[in-house]
Structure 1
Amino acid sequence: MRLNLVEAGDGPPVILLHGLFGSAQNWGAVQRHLAARHRVLALDLRNHGASGRSSAMDYPTMAADVAETMRAMGAAPTAVIGHSMGGKVAMALALAEPALVARLVVVDIAPIAYPPALRPYVEAMQAIPLRSGLTRRDADAALAAAVPEPGIRAFLVQNLRMQDDPPRWRLGLDELAAAMPVLEGFPDLPGRYEGPTLVINGERSSYIRPDSHPRFGALFPAARFATVPGVGHWVHAESPSSFLALIGPFLD
């Protein structure tokens, strides 16, 4: 699948891959900064944003989408930066087609399986009646029981196209719901990626634990690790300046 993207800047190419329930727009501030020195392509992964919908949503398939889009845009080899689910896609791409990935940045995710903590989010979003007159406040209230954190609710609700009547989601929610068991895991892929790899975690996040470092080392032997202080899982959104201070020198 060729993916929808937002492009900015000129120079060595950089691909940005968002996390679950996200879109290319999540990278706005980071993309604008990097575009001063790089050609930056922020992608909507399948079943997200303006990219196509499909019941197939495993990591090798999503990595193949990114590879197809890179080739179509003449952006290979390239640095690839992926956050959360997008980080797993980036790792799958580097393992499957290492020649396409000049440098790899994995943001607050590990190549391991995670518990099914986000399934209630999808179910709550599916349960919102998309009626004429629905407001963002209504949608936020409908999510409150399943998603107690206001910031996460706001992140989810931004996927509603309020200009449509009735509003509709920018997500393939049915496809995502069916794919959650696969998205929570990480496939046993052959090979290793020997290229430069930077793994970034948020100090207040538990997504990358010390016991996952050996798994990184087995698959990405050149991996080095960095922590952004005072932030949680959404590292690049919570502290763009600290995030950019790490990845700028790595990309250059």
Structure 2
Amino acid sequence: MKLNFKKSGTGEPLIILHGLFGSADNWFSIAKELENDFTLYLVDQRNHGDSPHSDEWNYEVMVEDLRELMDEEGLSEAYLMGHSMGGKTAMNFAVTYPDRVEKLIVADIAPRYYPVHHQTILEGLNSINLSETYSRKDADDQLAKYIPYPGIRQFLLKSLGRDRNGFYWKINLPVITENIEEVGKALEEDTVYSGPTLFLAGANSNYIQQSDLPDILAHFPNYEIEFIEGAGHWLHAEKPEAVVREIRRFLI
């Protein structure tokens, strides 16, 4: 699948993958801080952002999407970073094509299995009647019945597009809803990427725990981990300066 991406900057290539319900735009402010150091590729994964929709949605096909992008861009290898779902894609890519990943950064996700925990978000998104939505405020009011936090609603509603026919979802909401179990799948056993790997964890997040470290070591024996103080799961939005600092420290 030919993915949509935004390319900017100069230097060694750094590919960044967003998380579930997100898009390349989520990393725009981080990329702006890194453009003097790297050639940035901010990628919309399939069924997200401006990339195509498909009924097939799992890490195997998302890995191949990324390989195709690198092939078309003439990238034999690159620095690779992913957040949450994007981190799982990045980890799967690294263990599948280790020679194509110079260094790996995984933001607030571990290799283990995660049970489905997005039911309320999916119920809220599916509850929005787009045919009766005439403004973003209409959509926000409907979503507020399920999600009381304005920041989370604002993030989710970035996936709401609008054209002359009205509002539409940029994300492939039906396929994501039907296949949500795919997001939490663990890496296959005995898969290893031996290259330098940095795990960035939000200190206030429960996505990476001390109990995950043996599993991380088994898959990524050359890893280090940094906990970003004051950050939760969306560490790049909550503590962007710290995230940029760690990216530079690790890659340069």
What is the TM-score with the length of structure 1 in the denominator?
A: 0.96
Query: For residues 99-125 of structure 1, what are the alpha-carbon distances to aligned partners after superposition, in whole Å with 9 as ceiling and x for unaligned?
Result: 111000000011112222112212321
Equivalent position of 2:129 in the other structure: 129
| Pair 1:11-2:30 in alignment | no
| Pair 1:73-2:81 in alignment | no
Alpha carbons 2:115, 2:181 under 8 Å: kept? no
Matches within 5 A, 1:188-227: 188=188, 190-227=190-227
SS in 2 for 1:201: strand
Equivalent position of 1:144 in the other structure: 144
- Partners of 1:144 and 1:35 lie apart in 2 by 37
- Partners of 2:72 and 2:123 lie apart in 1 by 35
Overall identity of the aligned pairs, in %: 37
Matches within 5 A, 1:1-252: 1-131=1-131, 134-188=134-188, 190-252=190-252
Query: For residues 154-200 of structure 1, what are the alpha-carbon distances to aligned partners after superposition, in whole Å with 9 as ceiling and x for unaligned?
Result: 10011111344321111100111112011122241543100000000
- Partners of 1:142 and 1:164 lie apart in 2 by 22
- Partners of 1:195 and 1:187 lie apart in 2 by 16
Alpha carbons 2:133, 2:139 under 8 Å: kept? no
Of 219-228 and 56-65, more deviation after overlay is shown by 56-65
Of 112-121 and 56-65, more deviation after overlay is shown by 112-121
Give the unaligned 5+ runs of structure 1: none
Query: For residues 128-148 of structure 1, what are the alpha-carbon distances to aligned partners after superposition, in whole Å with 9 as ceiling and x for unaligned?
Result: 111265211111121123222
Query: For residues 56-110 of structure 1, what are the alpha-carbon distances to aligned partners after superposition, in whole Å with 9 as ceiling and x for unaligned?
Result: 1111211111111011111230000100000000000001000111000000011
- Partners of 2:79 and 2:67 lie apart in 1 by 12
- Partners of 2:241 and 2:109 lie apart in 1 by 20
Q: What's the Cα RMSD here?
A: 1.3
Cα 1:208–1:229, aligned 2, differ >3 Å: closer, same or farther?
same
Aligned residues: 252
What is the TM-score with the length of structure 2 in the denominator?
A: 0.96
